[in-house]
Amino acid sequence: MADSALKLEEVKIFEIDTLIDPYAAYQTLRDEAPVFHVPELNVHYVTRYDLIREAIKDTQTYSSKYDGFLNLSREAAFAAMPEDVREQLLAAEKQMIPIPPTMLTLDEPEHTKYRSLVSQLFTGSQVKKAEEQVQAVVDETADAFMAKAQNAEDVDFMVEFAFPVPLRIIADRLGIPEADRPLFDDGATAAASGLRLSPLPPEEMVRRARLAVDLQQLLVGLLEARRSDPRDDMITILAGAKLEDEDRHLTHGEALSILNQFLVAGHETTTSTFGWGMLALCKQPELQDQIRDDAKLTRTFVEEALRIESPVQGLPRVVTRDTELGGYPIKAGEMVMLRYGAANRDERQFENPDLVDVHREKAGMQLAFGSGVHHCIGAPLARQELNLGFPALLKRMQNIRLSPNRDAPKAEPSFILRNLPELYIQFDAR
């Protein structure tokens, strides 16, 4: 259970302290108002595991076509900006290729026609085929991490391992040339950061807007190049893919839409879980020896790390007809926010939900990757990276602990994502 539940009237969803540590609020909502109206966005917050599963299964009533919700959030953010910054951002936006909805914000059957184009890259056999390459990236980065830490008082695990491993692997999968990796890395990181609430200086906002234009131009250039020079990568697949029902290739906007989703899902969520998993090893140090050299317990540990700090805390749905959820009435056209982070700590589903338990049965029932038709397509690759990454680290390290010289690590405030911006640790080499 969370350390201290709040009174219902004390729950403030959008307060920074709640976004940084939402679990007391989640507990109160699960117990007292599992479907809770948040007036700031006129959205209904759903926090109980069984109700979220019910909504996920009923795709006809709870639609993923929630683009309007995102547009409203964007318009509100633009309105609050200084005029000169807004003008520069709008100028950059005019250079952007419009992005249509594809996988994440579509329902069946449109969702499947796009998802099927890239699903071949994430089958069990394809992921297994890439294991040697992933292991090489993990080992190389772990060795560099050890070398960096050798002469340092402490080291930022996020910067030196959690960020570079997934970013390099998704860049490899996409087929980004080495010469373009700095631009790609910067652009992909900035794309994910757009879902956070940390304030940015105006000049950084403008830089990121222009960076988004440069990243689009890079990806479009690669799509065009792959049509005449195909390779074994995702960009080649998208460049040659055809929508069979329309007998046409993907537009640049459609291809970019799919690529943008992989930029966030392909590295941001795995990076987050590396960070939260490492923090769990520091907070529950007995886990280090328990999972070292034990592949089965490592797999459960990974599921628990995903569960206890879900990298995607929640996603919206649009209600298509008057209905009720858990006895709570919701009208057609209203929004619900399915809070996976709350469901994954629901004591009705998971005993002792605030602890990582490497002996937990059915740990894979966690909802960090969603469920149903929108279950994260990259989940097999993320699990592979995590299940290879933690053993590689524990092979090299022991007595891993938080650095006493730094402030306690905490999440960066975000309504959607949950990540650790930094995690300074100390350890003994093995």
Going by pLDDT thresholds of 50, 70 and 90, the confidence category of residue 112 is confident
The residue to which tokens 């397509």 are assigned: 377
Residue of 283 and 262 predicted with greater confidence: 283
Cα→Cα distances 134→139, 172, 228, 321, 360, Å: 9, 10, 28, 45, 27
Number of domains in the chain: 1
Q: How far apart are CA 185 and CA 178, in angstroms?
A: 11
What range defines the domain where residue 418 resides?
67-308+351-429
Q: Which residue has tokens 């003008």?
A: 87
Task: Please state the rounded mean pLDDT for residues 246-264.
Answer: 88
Residue 315 three-state SS = strand
Q: Return phi, psi of residue 339, to 5°.
A: -95, 90
Q: How confident is the model at residue 1 (pLDDT cuts 50, 70, 90)?
A: very low
DSSP states of 158-196? IIIIITHHHHHHHHHHHT--GGGHHHHHHHHHHHHHTTB
Q: What is the mean pLDDT of residues 168-197?
A: 86
Instruction: Tell me the three state secondary structure of residue 392.
Output: helix
What CATH number has the domain bearing residue 180?
Answer: 1.10.630.10
How many Cβ atoms sit within 10 Å of the Cβ of residue 417?
23
Model pLDDT for residues 403-427, shown as the tens digit of each residue = 999 999 999 988 888 999 999 999 9
In a domain, 28, yes or no: no
Q: By CB neighbour count within 10 A (0-12 exposed, 13-18 middle, 19+ buried), where does 230 fall?
A: middle
pLDDT tens for 329-388 read 999 999 999 999 999 999 999 999 999 999 999 999 999 998 888 888 888 889 999 999
In a domain, 341, yes or no: no
pLDDT above 80 for 82: no
Residue 339 included in any domain: no
Is 24 part of a structural domain of the chain? no
What pLDDT sits at residue 77?
A: 60
Residue in the structure block whose two tokens are 């328990």: 290
**At what angle are helices 202-228 and 252-265 packed, to 10 degrees?**
120
Is 23 domain-assigned? no
Confidence bin at 202 (pLDDT 50/70/90): confident
Residue of 420, 419, 413, 423 lying closest to 196 (CA atoms) = 413
In a domain, 49, yes or no: no
Query: Is there a domain that residue 380 lies in?
Result: yes
Q: What is the pLDDT of residues 213-250, one digit of tens each?
A: 999 999 999 999 999 999 988 899 899 988 878 889 99
Structural Rg of the chain based on CA atoms = 21
CA 246 to chain centre: 32
Q: Is residue 216 part of a domain?
A: yes
pLDDT computed for residue 71 by the predictor: 54
pTM comes to 0.92
- Segment 4-23 mean pLDDT: 88
pLDDT score recorded for residue 6: 82
